[in-house]
Structure formats: C-alpha cells, structure tokens
C-alpha cells in the first residue's frame, strides 16, 4: 500500500468498500462529515437533559428505557418501509456492535461510581487515542504524523476542558472508564468495517436491540435500581431514545460507510464542546479560560487530522531531517 495516500485509503473501511467508487465517496464525504457533527451536537446538547433525568432513575435503568424506546421506534419505522432482510452474518455483526456499544455505556456508568465526573469525562475521551492505536496494530503501521499531532493536541484540549481534575491515585473507577473508552473505540472501528457491507437499517436495529437486551439483563444487579416517575424523566427518555439513539446511530451507521474511523473519533471529540455550549445557553454555566482553550485545541486537533499534513514548519523540519 502506498504510504503517501490519505487516511481514507489506508483505512480498512476503504478496502471493505470496494463497491463504492472514488467519485461517489468524494461527493458524499461532506454530507457524512456534517451528519457526524450533527450526531455529536445531539449527544452534547442532550447531556443536561440526561443529567437531570438521572435524579429520577438509576443509570442503567434509564439506559434500559432509552434503548427500549429506540429499539421500538426503529422497528416501527423500518417495518413501515418494508420487511428487513436478515442473514446470519448481519445478525452476528449487529450483535457484536451491540455488545461493544453497551460495554461502553456499562463501564462508564459503573466506573462513575468510583471516580469523579471530570476524570470520567477525560478518560472516556481517550477513545480518540485508542481508535488510531488499534488501527495501527491492525495495519502494522504507525499513524501519520498529522494524526499523532492531532491526537496530542486534542488530548491536551480534553484535559483542559475537564479542569479542574486531579489524578492523585488511580482508582477502580478510572480502570473501568478506560475499558469504556476502549469499548467505544472498538464500536467505531467495527462499525467502519461492518456498515459498508451490510443493510444499514437492519444493522442499526440489531445493534440497538442487543444493547437493549443487555441493559435489561443488567440494570437490576449492576447498581441499585430506582425509578421516580416525572415529566422530565419521560421527556428525557423520549428525546434520548428517539433522537439521541435511534436517529443518531442510524446516521452514524450510514456515515461510517464513508468516513473512516480515525476521523469519526475526532469528530465525536466535539461532544463535550457542544455539551458546554448547551449548558451555557440553558443554565448559564460559564467555561473558564482553560476550558475555552481546551475547546479550541480540540478543534485544532480535528483540523490537523482533516488536513492530513503538518503545518509547513513541521513539514520542512521533517524534510531537513531526512536530508
């Protein structure tokens, strides 16, 4: 494989999508990128809604309701459009995706009981490191310099955005949250592999359905379950179930036919930025100077990956070193 080609061509996603020609991929890349940004915005803007709803329901019970509403809404919508064509491979892929997706939610929720929210947010964001790292292991080739620079800059941004934060002594919660970040990274990578070869509607329904089954089977033992019926709880369940789960994962499954996993991970790093914007507009929460700098650095990290080349001073430095 030519080492000078872009991220997309070096990515397994491109190899799996041989039926999609270059012009088709190029023409849909911008809409797919904007769609993933919209998904990040949906997840970020629903953070405040979920946070208030969790005062009326335990975390995993809320997830059970959320995935249940999403599964039901997807099934109704897809049945209206006609029967789904399922096969063994598609069912297997959907089940694997659902396990990885639920693993991220489970380990994040349980880990949060033993660590601070700021540490949890930062450690969860490490999926932007694990995605290119796992890809590098798969390809047996180091990430491009622009990717490495983007990772470093975005990590600093995540750290500043999560301030104040202290890592004086790692905890069990930190370890569980790291497993969460790996699970999210695996989900992004597998979706990039499975979505080009499978029916998008069926793949979305299967993975969400599997996450629902797993959450239904675990909410009663993984934590102390409780539920207080309230308007804000049911509004949150409806909005997150339909918009932030059914619609969001349908869009992600479609977009990852086109956008490679590394870029997808960096786009999803925008979620905490949208979460802060929503908190500022909804409840007047203000971000510190370090937080604003962190948000800017996340955007800079995405820019480095999108441009695929380092700024000219770094590029010239590499050339001089080679000479």
Most confident of 109-123, 154-168, 178-192, 285-299: 178-192
CA distance 134 to 123: 17
| Residue-wise pLDDT tens digits, 14-73 | 344 444 445 555 668 889 999 999 999 998 888 778 878 888 999 899 999 999 999 999
Task: Please tell me the predicted confidence (pLDDT) of residue 274.
Answer: 84
CA distance 249 to 207: 9
In which band, very low, low, confident or very high, does the pLDDT at 162 lie, cut at 50, 70 and 90? low
In which band, very low, low, confident or very high, does the pLDDT at 122 lie, cut at 50, 70 and 90? confident
| Residue-wise pLDDT tens digits, 191-229 | 999 998 768 999 999 999 999 999 999 998 888 899 999
Q: Which one has a higher pLDDT value, 145 or 321?
A: 145
| Domain boundaries, given as residue ranges, for the chain | 33-322
Q: Residue 206 contacts by C-beta under 8 Å, 6 or more apart in sequence?
A: 86, 90, 91, 93, 94, 95, 97, 98
Q: Which one has a higher pLDDT value, 82 or 245?
A: 245
Task: Please tell me the predicted confidence (pLDDT) of residue 168.
Answer: 58
Task: Please tell me the predicted confidence (pLDDT) of residue 19.
Answer: 46
């Amino acid at each position: 494989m030519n080492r000078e080609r872009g991220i997309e061509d070096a990515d397994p996603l491109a190899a799996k999508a041989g039926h999609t020609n270059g012009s088709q991929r190029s023409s849909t890349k911008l809409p797919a990128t904007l769609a993933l940004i919209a998904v990040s915005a949906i997840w970020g803007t629903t953070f405040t809604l979920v946070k208030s709803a969790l005062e009326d329901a335990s975390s995993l019970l809320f997830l059970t309701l959320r995935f249940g509403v999403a599964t039901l809404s997807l099934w109704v919508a897809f049945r209206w459009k006609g029967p789904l064509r399922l096969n063994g491979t598609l069912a297997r892929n959907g089940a694997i995706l659902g396990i990885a997706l639920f693993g991220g939610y489970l380990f994040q929720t349980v880990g949060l009981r033993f660590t601070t929210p700021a540490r949890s947010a930062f450690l969860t964001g490490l999926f932007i490191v694990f995605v290119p790292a796992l890809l590098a292991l798969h390809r047996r080739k180091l990430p491009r310099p622009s990717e490495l620079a983007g990772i470093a800059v975005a990590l600093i941004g995540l750290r500043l955005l999560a301030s104040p934060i202290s890592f004086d002594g790692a905890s069990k919660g930190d370890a569980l949250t790291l497993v969460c970040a790996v699970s999210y990274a695996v989900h992004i990578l597998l979706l990039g592999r499975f979505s080009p070869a499978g029916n998008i509607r069926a793949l979305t329904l299967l993975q969400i359905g599997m996450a629902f089954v797993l959450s239904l089977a675990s909410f009663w033992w993984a934590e102390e379950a409780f539920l207080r019926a309230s308007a804000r709880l049911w509004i949150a369940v409806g909005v997150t179930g339909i918009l932030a789960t059914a619609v969001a994962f349908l869009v992600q499954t479609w977009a990852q036919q086109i956008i490679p996993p590394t870029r997808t991970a960096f786009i999803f790093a925008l979620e905490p930025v949208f979460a802060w914007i929503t908190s500022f507009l909804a409840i007047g929460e203000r971000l510190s100077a370090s937080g604003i700098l962190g948000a800017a650095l996340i955007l800079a990290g995405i820019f480095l990956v999108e441009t695929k080349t380092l700024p000219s001073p770094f590029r010239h430095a590499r050339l001089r070193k080679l000479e």
